[in-house]
Amino acid sequence: MQERAVRTREVILRAAAEVFDEFGFSGASISKIMKRAGVTQGGMYFHFPSKEALAQAVMVEQGGGLELPPGENGLQRLIDITLYLAEELQTNPKLRAGVRLAVEQGEFGVQDDSAYRAWAEEFGGQLSAAREKGELLPEVNVEELAWVLVSAYTGTQLFSQISSGRTDLHQRVVSLWRYLLPGVAAPPLRPLLTFAARRRRAVA
């Protein structure tokens, strides 16, 4: 029973993500999501009492189920993760919906930065590893830079979404790194960092 409940919750979240991704918060409805998930009203309300609760869960769990690219933690892997996310933002409904809701949350009266903080923690973990390996300039503050990266990435994907439906997102993420790396990476590392779209191993 427990296992089945977990599975049902997952099916509902996936359906909710698809509907929010397609229609946004105000265009989505519980009945649309129930129909897409193939669950009864009872099953739905057991897990999520409202559309707001569903949106909150999709927003906060946006990174769940992602298979981040492998490799040794550090600056190259952080770059790889940002490029991987640029790809997933084209096609992955959970990530797309979670990001969309996190950006548009003001429209439905929510003010919750936990999704942003989760990414800052993920990026900060890679930066801490980079620091240990001597990959960062001494003046870099790991926590401050993690927040700068999440901020800059958020705006990059948003502007790209509005301009091009994110078709140019990969190139824009590369541009962002181009101007950030001189203030971040130790000079000997810089020429070794690569921006290939589908790297599966870290170089450093």
Q: Which stretch binds its own copies (CB under 8 A): 11-19, 48-56, 106-114, 195-203?
A: 106-114
- Regarding 178 and contact with its own copies (CB under 8 A), the answer is yes
132 part of the interface to its own copies, by CB under 8 A: no
Residue 146 to residue 188: CA distance in whole angstroms: 22
| 190 vs 200 by CB, closer to its own copies | 190
Q: Please, what is the minimum distance in Å from the beta carbon of residue 53 to its own copies?
A: 18
Closest to its own copies by CB, 120 vs 129, is: 120
| Residues in binding contact with its own copies, number by CB under 8 A | 45
Among 182, 192, 194, 200, binds its own copies (CB under 8 A): 182
Which among 5-13, 125-133, 172-180, 196-204 is the span making contact with its own copies, rule CB under 8 A? Answer: 172-180
Cβ burial, residue 144 (10 Å; 0-12/13-18/19+): exposed
Given a contact cutoff of 8 angstroms between Cβ atoms, the answer to whether 180 and 140 are in contact is: no
- Asked whether 96 and 21 are in contact (CB, 8 A), the reply is yes
Name which position in 29, 90, 163, 194 contacts its own copies (CB under 8 A). Answer: 163
Q: What is the DSSP letter of 136?
A: B
Interface residues for its own copies in 183-202 (CB under 8 A)? 183-184
Give me the DSSP letters along 35-52: HHHT--HHHHHHH-SSHH
Selected binder of its own copies within 15, 17, 25, 32 (CB under 8 A)? 25
Q: Which range in 2-10, 90-98, 99-107, 123-131 contacts its own copies by CB under 8 A?
A: 99-107
Cβ atoms 139, 167 nearer than 8 A: no
Closer residue to its own copies (CB): 65 or 183: 183
> Mapping DSSP to helix (H, G, I), strand (E, B) and coil, where does residue 165 land?
coil
Binds its own copies (CB under 8 A): choice among 32, 96, 172, 199? 172
Torsion of CA 143, 82, 64, 69, to 10 degrees: -110
Strand partners, 136: 185
3-class DSSP state of 199: coil
Smallest distance from its own copies to CB 134, Å:
18
